């Protein structure tokens, strides 16, 4: 597929012996020590970790080596010095003007690197390697990009949306439509409000450019303090069909046949969808979620065939990409 780069996969890998280099720009070929400047709890087993990239370590966007290295979507490999393994994390907003990198990290019982990161405190040093391109949208001929994320798999799509919609003015001649379907286990595990709120506000202001749908597995245990419309349930075949106003290929129920129609779905209102348009589904999250939505990875974490909900809806390999 033109313009679509290979993914840098999101699981721990053995440390490959790349050297540690200081006072040089970030590079995939060496590790760069960065200082932790903040570590904040933002949900159950969730931290927002800030790393500082000094001026001499920031990539030069004019460098002929890779002028698009920091174009979304890209990630950094973080090295666990204790176990000598590395895992890629996607900075939520890239590197900001002050040199800060924000990582949204969830601690899992068997996640070695995440547990190691959660133990870090301001002043500690963390070595990173990258940037690595995860997905390149530049030059792709698409009418619509539908992003489906679970948990901290939201980070790559936030990086893309922040860059394309908030940081830079969208191309007025572009008809590209962006849709995000994001699922979290609970309300408390939704993306931090300082990142999600600006996108919600943008979607409300420019619904022709961005649409956001939020899902939670568990019903809210308390009243919402954030003004979101959240669906209780998972991102399954019916949820995708409803949010994209796809035709329902299932035969109508007996009561729909009797009454000569079907119940209206408010999720479908005002959301035209052209099935013959050029669409890309990008899916990122825990492996079981990716498998349910788009089918499992192939051998050695290659793309594999399209399965799950998207296959059931008729989408093919050229229209689906697993991060």
Q: Read off the pLDDT of residues 87-108 as tens digits, 9 standing for 90 and up.
A: 999 999 999 999 999 999 999 9
Residues 169 and 225 in one domain: yes
pLDDT, residue 181, reads 98
Q: Do both 208 and 286 map to the same domain?
A: yes
The answer to whether the beta carbons of residues 72 and 163 sit under 8 Å apart is yes
Q: Is residue 2 part of a domain?
A: no
Instruction: Please check whether residues 74 and 178 belong to one and the same domain.
Output: no
Q: Which two tokens stand for residue 278?
A: 């050029």
Q: Determine the Cα–Cα distance for residues 166 and 145; give it in Å rounded to an integer.
A: 17
Report if residue 6 sits inside a domain.
no
DSSP 265-286: -GGGTT----TTS-EEEEEES-
Distance CA 169, CA 208 (A): 15
Please tell me whether residues 159 and 86 are part of one structural domain: no
Mean pLDDT for 10-39 is 84
1 part of a folded domain: no
Determine the distance from the C-alpha atom of residue 204 to the mean position of all C-alpha atoms in its chain, rounded to a whole number: 20
Residue 38's pLDDT band (boundaries 50, 70, 90)?
Answer: very high
Which position has the token pair 């008809």? 175
Q: How many domains would you assign to the chain?
A: 2
The pLDDT assigned to 276 comes to 57
- Is there a domain that residue 139 lies in? no
Beta strands per DSSP E along 23-63 = 31-43, 46-52
Answer yes or no: is 283 within a domain: yes
Helix (H) or strand (E) segment spanning residue 287? helix 287-294
- Residues 165-212 have pLDDT tens digits of 998 877 766 788 999 999 999 999 999 999 999 999 999 999 999 999
**CATH of residue 303:** 3.40.50.80
CA-CA distance, 159 to 91, in Å (whole number)? 7
What is the number of other CB atoms lying within 10 angstroms of the CB of residue 75? 26
Q: Considering only 70-79, 214-223, 238-247, which range has the smallest mean pLDDT?
A: 214-223
69 and 112 within one domain? yes
Task: Compute the chain's Rg from CA coordinates.
Answer: 20
Assign 254 to helix, strand or coil. Answer: helix
115-119, 237-241, 247-251, 314-318: which has the minimum mean pLDDT? 247-251
Confidence of residue 81 (pLDDT cuts 50, 70, 90): confident
| Tokens standing for residue 234 | 């998972």
Q: Which of 75, 110, 133 is the last residue of a domain?
A: 133
Residue 261: count of CB within 10 angstroms of its CB? 10
Looking at the predicted structure, is the pLDDT value of residue 145 above 80? yes
322: alpha, beta or left, given left = phi > 0 and alpha = psi -120 to 50?
beta
Q: Do residues 162 and 115 both lie within one domain?
A: no
- Residue 265's domain comprises 144-322
Q: What is the reported pLDDT for 7?
A: 39
| Any domain includes 113 | yes
Whole-number Å distance between alpha carbons of 238 and 272:
17
Same domain, 290 and 182: yes
Average pLDDT rounded to a whole number, residues 25-53: 97
CA 66 to CA 162: how far, in whole Å?
Answer: 21
Half-sphere exposure (CA, 13 Å, Cβ side) for 35? Answer: 7
> Which of 233, 231, 235, 247 lies closest to 293 in space, CA to CA?
235
Of 113, 133, 153, which residue sits at a domain end? 133
Q: At 65, is the pLDDT very low, low, confident or very high (cuts 50, 70, 90)?
A: low
Does 250 have pLDDT greater than 80? no
> Residue 102 belongs to a domain with what CATH number?
2.40.30.10
Position with higher pLDDT, 8 vs 161: 161
Closest to 117 measured CA to CA, from 133, 105, 102 = 105
CA distances from 142 to 2, 118, 208, 319 (A): 11, 38, 15, 10
* pLDDT tens string 227-237: 678 999 999 99
pLDDT tens per residue across span 270-295: 445 555 568 999 999 999 999 999 99
Q: What is the DSSP letter of 188?
A: G
- 96 with 175, same domain? no
Sign of the alpha-carbon dihedral angle for 224, 226, 232, 233: negative
Looking at the fold, whether 206 and 286 belong to one and the same domain comes out as: yes
Tell me: do 172 and 210 sit in the same domain: yes
CA distance 10 to 254: 46
Residue 115 in contact with residue 103, Cβ under 8 Å?
no
Q: What pLDDT is stored for residue 60 in this prediction?
A: 77
- 171, 304: one domain: yes
Residue that is last in its domain, among 108, 133, 158: 133
**Are the C-beta atoms of residues 36 and 121 closer than 8 Å to each other?**
yes
- Tell me, yes or no, whether 124 lies in a domain: yes
Q: What is the pLDDT of residue 100?
A: 98
Residue 28 resides in a domain? yes
**pLDDT, mean over the chain:** 85
Q: Is 52 helix (H, G, I), strand (E, B) or coil?
A: strand
Same domain, 89 and 196: no
pLDDT mean over 41-51: 98
């Amino acid at each position: 597929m033109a313009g679509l780069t290979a993914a840098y996969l999101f699981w721990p890998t053995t440390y490959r012996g790349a050297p540690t280099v200081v006072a040089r720009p970030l590079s995939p070929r060496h590790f760069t020590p960065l200082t932790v400047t903040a570590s904040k709890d933002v949900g159950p087993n969730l931290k927002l970790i800030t790393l500082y990239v000094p001026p001499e370590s920031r990539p030069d966007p004019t460098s002929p080596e890779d002028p698009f290295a920091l174009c979304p979507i890209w990630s950094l490999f973080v090295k666990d010095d204790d176990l000598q393994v590395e895992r890629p994390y996607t900075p939520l907003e890239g590197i900001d003007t002050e040199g800060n990198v924000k990582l949204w990290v969830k601690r899992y019982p068997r996640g070695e690197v995440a547990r190691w990161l959660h133990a870090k405190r301001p002043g500690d040093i963390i070595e990173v390697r990258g940037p690595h391109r995860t997905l390149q949208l530049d030059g792709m001929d698409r009418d619509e990009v539908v992003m489906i994320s679970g948990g901290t798999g939201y980070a790559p799509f936030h990086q893309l949306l922040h860059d394309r919609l908030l940081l830079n003015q969208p191309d007025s001649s572009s008809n590209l439509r962006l849709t995000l379907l994001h699922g979290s286990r609970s309300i408390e595990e939704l993306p931090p409000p300082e990142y999600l709120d600006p996108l919600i506000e943008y979607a409300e202001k420019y619904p022709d450019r961005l649409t956001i749908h939020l899902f939670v597995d568990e019903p809210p245990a308390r009243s919402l303090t954030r003004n979101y419309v959240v669906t209780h349930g998972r991102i399954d075949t019916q949820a995708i069909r409803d949010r994209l106003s796809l035709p329902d290929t299932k035969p109508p129920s007996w009561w729909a046949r009797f009454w000569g129609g079907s119940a209206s779905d408010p999720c479908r209102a005002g959301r035209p969808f052209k099935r013959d348009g050029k669409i890309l589904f990008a899916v990122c999250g825990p492996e079981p979620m990716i498998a349910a939505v788009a089918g499992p990875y192939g051998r050695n974490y290659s793309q594999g065939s399209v399965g799950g909900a998207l296959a059931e809806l008729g989408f093919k390999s050229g229209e689906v990409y697993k991060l």
